[in-house]
């Protein structure tokens, strides 16, 4: 059975990815920060079956790398797919009120952690040479709208990283894709309260990506409910 490594697994989007992996009959290796995070993940997903949690600090230079080292050493299961959606604050603080510490913290969580996730897992996926491997990241339209400047700037940095990932994997065994999300998705119970899209509903997008081999080196635009039923695939170059 295939395994999906999920980075940012406890988040609104990460829980959606875990749900998609399980629904598509794959196991999950979830990187979490502590026991409390593991419990929250299991609660949101509704089951622990098929999920192995491993603790690491994904915002540090070697957090994800240490997990991959454990996989290479056979202490954790090999994975054929990676999903990354580490995210920082979702707030509307004006630019002039963002102090340096806050800017750096958010760039670290929302940009660097996703960069480390790519840098330190892609070699393992290529080495395995599994023909259906995927590497997927979630970015958001805030990166273009900038109504919330702090998350917008971190998304902006992810956009060229995604295009580079698409180019660098065009001819590899790994289908690199960026999910570009244009509406709000939250954990199911929060989504009901706030009237936004449920993580379990958004999960269909990742199910489609995992199973649809035409999604390769592309941006998958999710701007309408229809885009959760049929992939809206866009080439970026």
Ligand X SMILES: NC(=O)c1ccc[n+]([C@@H]2O[C@H](COP(=O)([O-])OP(=O)(O)OC[C@H]3O[C@@H](n4cnc5c(N)ncnc54)[C@H](OP(=O)(O)O)[C@@H]3O)[C@@H](O)[C@H]2O)c1
Question: How far apart are CB 60 and ligand X at their closest, in Å?
Answer: 9
CA distance 133 to 150: 32
CA distance 14 to 202: 11
Q: Which residue has the tokens 């592309």?
A: 218
By the rule CB under 6 A, 39 interacts with ligand X: no
Contact letters for ligand X, residues 160-199 (x by CB under 6 A): ---------------------x--xx--------------
Question: How far apart are CB 149 and ligand X at their closest, in Å?
Answer: 13
Cα angle 185, 190, 192; round to 5: 85
Region from 4-12, 19-27, 67-75, 93-101 binding ligand X, contact rule CB under 6 A: 4-12
The encoded tokens of residue 235 equal 């080439």
Count of residues making up the chain: 237
Question: How far apart are CB 201 and ligand X at their closest, in Å?
Answer: 12
By the rule CB under 6 A, 109 interacts with ligand X: yes
Out of 80, 155, 200, 217, the only residue in the binding site for ligand X (CB under 6 A) is: 155
Question: How far apart are CB 95 and ligand X at their closest, in Å?
Answer: 18
Residue 167 CB coordination number (10 Å)? 13
Number of chain residues interacting with ligand X (CB under 6 A): 25
By the rule CB under 6 A, 85 interacts with ligand X: yes
CA distance 112 to 105: 10
Residues 120-139 that bind ligand X (CB under 6 A): 138-139
**CA separation, residue 175 to residues 81, 98, 216 (Å):** 9, 36, 5
| Pair 87, 13: CB distance under 8 Å | yes
Question: How far apart are CB 164 and ligand X at their closest, in Å?
Answer: 17
By the rule CB under 6 A, 12 interacts with ligand X: yes
Helices (H), 82-141: 100-106, 113-119, 122-128
Residues that bind ligand X (CB under 6 A): 8-14, 33, 37, 58-59, 85-88, 109-110, 138-140, 151, 155, 181, 184-185
């Amino acid at each position: 059975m295939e395994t999906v490594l999920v980075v940012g697994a406890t988040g609104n989007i990460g829980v959606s990815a875990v749900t998609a992996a399980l629904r598509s009959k794959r196991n999950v290796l979830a990187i979490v920060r502590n026991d409390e995070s593991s419990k929250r993940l299991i609660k949101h997903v509704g089951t622990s079956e098929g999920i192995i949690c491993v603790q690491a600090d994904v915002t540090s230079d070697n957090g994800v790398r240490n997990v991959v080292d454990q996989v290479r050493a056979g202490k954790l299961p090999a994975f054929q797919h990676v999903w990354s959606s580490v995210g920082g604050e979702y707030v509307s603080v004006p630019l002039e009120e963002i102090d340096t510490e806050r800017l750096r913290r958010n760039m670290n969580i929302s940009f660097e952690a996703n960069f480390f996730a790519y840098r330190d897992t892609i070699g393992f996926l290529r080495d395995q040479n599994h023909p259906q491997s995927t590497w997927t990241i979630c970015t958001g339209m805030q990166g273009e709208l900038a109504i919330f400047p702090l998350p917008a700037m971190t998304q902006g940095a992810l956009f060229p990283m995604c295009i580079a990932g698409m180019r660098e994997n065009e001819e590899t065994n790994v289908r690199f894709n960026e999910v570009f999300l244009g509406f709000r998705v939250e954990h199911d119970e929060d989504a009901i309260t706030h009237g936004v899209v449920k993580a379990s509903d958004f999960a269909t997008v990742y199910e489609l990506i995992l199973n649809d081999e035409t999604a390769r080196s592309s941006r998958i635009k999710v701007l309408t409910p229809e885009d959760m039923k049929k992939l809206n695939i866009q080439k970026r170059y």
